[in-house]
Amino acid sequence: MRVRFQNSDGLAFLSRVKPAITLDGALLSETDRLDLEQLVRSARFFDLPEQIPGNLNGGPAWYITIEEGGRRHSIKVGQPVQGPAMRRLVERLRKLGANQARMVKRGTGGPATATLVSESPAPQASQQADRRA
C-alpha cells in the first residue's frame, strides 16, 4: 500500500498547501501497516466519491491518494472531516506524517518521503520534489 496525502488551509487565493507526505506500507512497522490497512477498509476508501462533504468551497481540505493491489483512488476530504471512520483514517495519517517529519528533521530517515508540491494541491496536478534534510 502506498498513501499520499496533504492538507490545504483553504484560504482561497491565499491558500497555503502544506508539503505532501507519501507513506510506503512496505516500510512501515507491521503494527502501523496493519492499523493503516484496517482504517482504509473501515473507511471503505476505494468506494468513496472523489469529494467528501465538508467545507469544500475554498475551505480547508485533505487530499488523499491510496494505491493498493493494482487499485488507485484519490479523494478530497473537506474539513471538518465527516464520519468516524474517515476521521480515524485522517488522524492516523496525520500522526504517521508527523512522526515522519520528526525523523526527516533529525536526519534518521523513516518509512515515508516528504515531498514539496506546486501551487495546485490536487494529487493529479501536483509536481513533487523530494525534500531531504
**In terms of residue numbers, what domain contains 112?**
2-117
Torsion of CA 126, 39, 97, 120, to 10 degrees: 20
Domain presence at residue 11: yes
Domain presence at residue 61: yes
pTM comes to: 0.73
**CATH assignment at residue 99:** 3.30.1560
Domain presence at residue 22: yes
In this predicted model, what pLDDT tens digit does every residue of 44-59 receive, in sequence order?
Answer: 999 999 988 765 556 7
Q: Average model confidence (pLDDT) for the chain?
A: 76
The answer to whether the peptide bond before residue 123 is cis (omega within 30 degrees of 0) is no
